Amino acid sequence: MALWKPDPTFYPSPKMAMQAPPEKLAYVAVVSPKKNGRPDRLAVVDVESTSSGYGNVVGQLDMPNPGDELHHFGWNACSSCLCPYAPHPHMERRYLIVPGIASSRTHIIDTKPDPRKPTLVKVIDADQLAARTGYSSPHTTHCGPDGIYMSALGSSNGDGPGGLFMMDPDGFDVLGKWELDRGPQTLAYDFWWHLGFDTLISSEWGTPNMVQSGVNPEILLAGGYGHQLHIWDLRRRRHQQALDLGKEQQMTLELRPAHDPTKAYGFLGVVVSLKDLSASIWLWHRDNGKWGIEKIIEVPAEPADPEVLPPLLKGFKAVPPLITDINLSLDDRFLYISCWGTGEFRQYDVSDPFKPKLTGSVHIGGIVRRASHPSNPKTSLNGGPQMVEVSRDGRRVYFTNSLYVPWDEQFYPDGVRGWMAKMDVKPRGGIDFDRKFFLDFGEQRPHQVRLEGGDASSDSYCYA
């Protein structure tokens, strides 16, 4: 008789997950930026420090078609399968759900039986997605307690509204739109939830037509990109509240809620302020049954000679930080911030989320600075810290340097040379480069990183 047991990478609580064995492999979405017929690929990177292949690509899977622009992929199942109100512990963390933001194709990739040799098992094309949901440009993937959730930037014609849709975690069929009542929500980007409060949070960027040709200065200066956070009833799938940061705050992107399901707060990264080109972190929180939001961190722009700035920024005479990704350690202690414009990577102690303390900062790349990696101090780098992932135990942080090809070209017109770096984290705060880990992707551009067995932004938990 077969005995069903939960996947050993599933843990009821973040505290237990932090005790998991360290990751040995990382999966990295790698985009081919040139329209030369070369497809994007999923790279398998050895991250086991004692391995002879440490810091190298040890496997890869090419996509079947060019032009996908692989984006924020995720697992088919995670620790939320252990939630008591929607249990399915027989699921296993096996498949990667990998969307293409440009092609609207979604790839289902099997990481077993050999995790170094992933295989493609299914492709959901743009027509299938449009027929089932009316959406296009699938963007972010999260595994939830009742299936696979994905965000999409817009409708099938490239305009709004964007939103969320559901996929079956067994057969990978697209089930349909998630929203039953979207209220005023039109723009979409990231989403996450507080399972302990039956609440989903979503953020805003822009529709495909607003972003696919790069930053549109007219839309930006008019405050037309996303500047709201949306609060939803998770189980009833209905919009409850919009938290507006004001049109000055443009592009409310990455969301990182507290991992402790008894806590109702989280962090939002805002790319740019129209007032002074600063970037910021905002804290959403729930008090006495009501949701509110406030700015807790501001990162200023850095003055720069217009001669060394890309055309888009010359008139501003400054480099904006451009916070394009954030991440939160599983113990909810350290928040990491990628400043893709200035090339700075920051660590904050957010034990008190209302009073963050800067505990670490390094520079690599940057629009003007072009800071090198300590493994090769004579080689200047471009791009900057971008997609960031944190190990379950919080001791290791990985990041890559490509944002989105049309936007890469605007801010780094000389062409982003792709790389991946790793930071070691000190227990009491502070970060240092791992001098033995620097992966040069050349003309190919690495984006999302996922760690074998799970990472700080893969799972949600029902127990504290």
For 377-391, the pLDDT digits (tens) are 999 999 999 999 999
The whole-number pLDDT of residue 374 equals 97
Cis peptide, bond prior to residue 217, ω within 30 of zero: no
Tokens for 408?
A: 């890469």
The whole-number pLDDT of residue 329 equals 98
DSSP state of 372: P
pLDDT tens-digit readout, 15-61? 999 999 999 999 999 999 988 899 999 999 999 999 999 999 999 99
The CA-atom distances, in angstroms, between 166 and each of 34, 135, 445 are 32, 12, 28
Contact 199, 264 (CB under 8 A): yes
Residue showing tokens 């940057």:
366
pLDDT tens-digit readout, 99-154? 999 999 999 999 999 999 999 999 999 999 999 999 999 999 999 999 999 999 99
Binning the chain into helix, strand and coil, the percentages to the nearest 5 are: 10, 40, 50
Residue 407: its H or E element: helix 405-411
- Give the β-pairing of 228-233 and 199-202: antiparallel
Residue showing tokens 């991440």:
327
Q: Residues in the chain with pLDDT < 70?
A: 1-3
Q: Of 270, 385, 263, which is closest to residue 330 (Cα–Cα)?
A: 263
CA distance 405 to 335: 26
> What's the CATH fold of domain 14-451?
Methylamine Dehydrogenase; Chain H (2.130.10)
The CA-atom distances, in angstroms, between 224 and each of 89, 214, 221 are 43, 14, 8
CA distance 108 to 303: 45
> What are the extents of the domains in the chain?
14-451
Which residues lie below 8 Å from residue 1, measured CB to CB, with a gap of 6+? none
The whole-number pLDDT of residue 90 equals 84
Q: Considering all CA atoms of the chain, what is the largest pairwise distance in Å, rounded to the nearest integer?
A: 72
The whole-number pLDDT of residue 86 equals 76
CA distance 374 to 241: 46
Contact 337, 346 (CB under 8 A): yes
The whole-number pLDDT of residue 1 equals 42
Contact 215, 312 (CB under 8 A): yes
CA distance 94 to 235: 26
